[in-house]
Chains A and B, each alone.
Chain A
Amino acid sequence: MTDVLLEIDNLSVDYETARGDLKALRNISFDVRKAEIVGIVGESGCGKSTLISSILRLIAPNTRFRSGEIRFDGSDLLKATEREMRALRGDEISIVFQDPMQTHNPVLSVGQQMIDIQHRSKAPKGEKREKAAQMLAAVGIPDPEARLDQFPHEFSGGMRQRIAIAMALMSEPNLLIADEPTTALDATLEVQIIERLQELQREMDCAILFISHHLGVIAELCDRVVVMYAGAVVESGDVRKIFHEPKHPYTRRLIECDPGHIKTRARILPTIPGEVPDLANIPDGCIFRDRCNQATERCMAHVPPLESVGEEHMAACWLNHEEVTA
């Protein structure tokens, strides 16, 4: 085995709805190596959430896996039993969700919840509690011992997200999925939390799959980036390459909209003219063609494949095929 931890291979996921199948993810491929931080960028509705819930297999009942594999440490999670999945969740794979205000149980104390998630450990309750306090201290919550007895609503949004990170890292996971963990917070808090996350990642040596639509954060934090649009990967590769020489018009537009520094932040999400196509009724050709100002005949008829455009750099655009653009 190489040092690849998570490998998404040609994954397609549909939602069965009354209007027909919604093709939420189509032929997604990328990988996450051990101890590396991979960012996923895209507008809301691009399939990020479907991707996360597919990896953890916490899916809505109408979800259908049509093709592909999700290999974690070499074994296909789509073939794992529910029991095997539950053994992974919160142990080898952890997650931090987007909205810190709703992510904790409102009627159980923070300490209770942090003790509960150590359900795999045989340690006595006192020890679990101590570990919970240590984790709270590690994410920068003052007076952690006393705060364990408090309830989520007694913490601010930033504090709650720190608690969520503490909970996610408690099992020292190999993979941490962070689903827009800072979107709901203001810029100063965002910087603090990102920096803390970076430190902890170095300490624990875990891989992070970091989902965001804030390019500044991605540029600061990630080693590699996957750009998604309407359920497909349009570009992926080394973070510097993507930012300095983007090979897909969509990526280019994103960077124009959000110049990408962690301290400044585009409050208004990138706006690109046109609408995302209806995923229940996908038109022929490139998925981005209606919003692309460089679209050609070929883009109307054929889907461009995701192909290498340089070392550690892939893109799905016909413009990179010299012979056609002429």
Chain B
Amino acid sequence: MRSRTTVLLLALALFASGQTWQIALPGYRYEFPRDYFNHPNYQTEWWYYTGNLKTAEGHRYGFELTFFREGIHLTPQAAQSEDPTWRPDQIYLAHLALSDIDGGHFFHVARLNRAGPGLAGVSLEQRREWNGNWQVLWTDLSSGRQQLQAMCDQFKLTLALTPEKPAVVNGKDGVSRKGPEPAETSQYFSFTRIEARGDLYKGGTHAALSGLAWMDHEFFSGPARTDLAGWDWFAIQLENGEELMLYRLRLKSGGISPYSSGTFVDSSGAAHFLDASEFTLSTGEQWHSSASRASYPVAWTISVPSLDLRLSEWTDLKNQELFDRNRLTPTYWEGAVSYAGAIQGKPLTGVGYLEMTGYAKDFGSGESSQVNLGSGRHFQTRSGTNRTRE
């Protein structure tokens, strides 16, 4: 559940369009490997890689690499261009972040492109998603093995990703529902346990890394969600070989949306849907960002009574906020976290990622940037040149 990108991408261009996008419908039949790649009939789509890695000496890192695709409706005049190369009808955004947990540093960079002459894209023929030289190449479509590569001024990361379980579909009947409206849905599947091995080059040094990664792929054509304040999303990889994904939608009214949900993946790889009534989330320690002045609950307690699971979540690197000083992209917190607790009375630990949106205020409007979802705001000049460097 990564609908926060709609924030940015719908802000790019949402004007009355004659063309209608494909809505994510129940009963969708996933076809792999075709569905690993792009679905241009859907307006919004993303590929999301996160993971917890360690060097041989035990130095911990977290990484995030995400590729977004957003379909844009052009006016007939703009669409008339005889040459489609630079036609801005598909916009590709990408985020790269590295959490140096034991070094106490957090790096993040964003990148925006159109397809152009091979600048960004997603291609089944080329078996890859890419934005400039950030790319994931599917080296083996049947096993889902992938090669990840990303770099910025501060570091370069290459990882070989080998799924240990096949992809699981989130939600019910092939659709992940986010609200009561028919279109408030998405097609959403995940690789919840991926073995990751690779190299990190940073500041003239090299480190071999290994650990566990998580991959989400989601596509939809959602309408504006004006009642949402934000959300909290958890990816949990337990040491006993099971995984848990949970998200909580916070309403502006202060309550929690009944459409919050989750997925439990057992050690055999089978997925079990969890609805909002099946889990509770409560916040602990707050971390205050001096950059955005937002306060994030960086410690949580998670309880899933049906699984007899209790976990507490914490992070050893509190500042994992993706803050864009130019405020071109929404500010949110997404970082590597640790879990400890017990299942059926047996103590256990885990790692994973936590995403929290809607806590930072948009300086310009005085309201949460996340609620600008599809407010019909025109594409601003500045968003067209959105590329931040930290």
Indicate, yes or no, whether A interacts with B: no
